[in-house]
Amino acid sequence: MSASLPVLQTVPQTDVGLLGAAQPCTLSQCRPGSRATVIGLDDCGTDEACRLRALGLCEGTSVSVIDARHAMVLDVRGTRLALSSAITAGITVQPLPAVRSARG
């Protein structure tokens, strides 16, 4: 229904430095230890997107990938979220250059 509506707010531009301009990808493609900013939750389904937003994972949120296997463990606003691959494949992110600290 409203899943494909255009998003007005743009993602903050990040300095990608030596890595070159990283292309947006799905969260499931990110590696453990990497960081990314969420661009869209549109491919998760409305109910799931609603739950993710309540848990603090919404457009513009920076997340760190702590562990990735059949599911991912993420750092989201200092909390740890475990998301199955069905969810992470539906989240579009802009990869960020690696930073040591997991807390934003």
Partner 1 sequence: MSELVVPVVERTPPTPPQAADASVLRLALIGNPNTGKTTLFNALTGLRQRVGNFAGVTVERVEGFFRTASGTRVSCLDLPGSYSLSASSPDEQIALEVLLGRARDGWRPDVVVVVADAVHLERNLYLLSQVLEVGVPVVLALNQMDAAEASGISIDIPELIHELGIPVVPMIAKRGQGIDALGRACETAVTLPAPVRKFALANAVDDALAPIASQLEVAGFKPSAARLEALRLMSVQHAEPHLEHISGLEDVRKQAVTTLAQIGLAPQRLESDARYGWIGEVMARTTSTREQDGRTISDRIDSVALHRVIGPVLFIALMAIVFQSVFTWAAPLQDAIEGGIAALGGIVGGWIPEGELRSLVVDGVFAGVGSVLVFLPQICILFLVIGVLEDSGYMARAAFLMDRVMRRVGLHGRSFIPMLSGYACAVPGIMATRVIENRQDRLATIMVVPLMSCSARLPVYTLLIGSFIPVSTLPLGFGLQGLTLLGMYLLGTLTALGVAAIFKRTLLKGPVRPMILELPSYRWPSLPTLGVTVWQRAMLFVRRAGTVIMSLSIVLWAMATYPRTAPDPLLPEVAQQEQQLEQSVLGRVGKVIEPLVRPLGYDWKIGVSIAASFAAREVFVSTMGTIYGVGGGDDNAAALGERLKAEVDPITGRPVYSTLVALGLMVFYVYALMCVSTTAITVREAGGGRVGWSWAAVQFGYSLVLAYGAAWLVFNVGRALGFGG
Which positions lie near partner 1, rule CB under 8 A? 1-3, 5-9, 41, 46-56, 58-61, 64, 66-67, 69-71, 73, 75-84, 86-87, 100-103
DSSP state of 56: T
**Distance from C-alpha of 88 to C-alpha of 93, rounded to nearest angstrom:** 10
CB of residue 54 to partner 1, shortest distance in Å? 3
Token pair for residue 75? 């750092």
Task: Look up tokens 């969810």; give the residue.
Answer: 87
- The residue among 80 and 97 lying less far from partner 1, judged by its C-beta, is 80
Among the listed residues 90, 82, 9, the one whose alpha carbon sits nearest the alpha carbon of residue 48: 90
- The residue among 22 and 104 lying less far from partner 1, judged by its C-beta, is 104
**Distance from C-alpha of 65 to C-alpha of 76, rounded to nearest angstrom:** 9
CB of residue 99 to partner 1, shortest distance in Å? 9
The SS3 of residue 8 is coil
- The residue among 20 and 70 lying less far from partner 1, judged by its C-beta, is 70
CB of residue 21 to partner 1, shortest distance in Å? 25
CB of residue 18 to partner 1, shortest distance in Å? 22
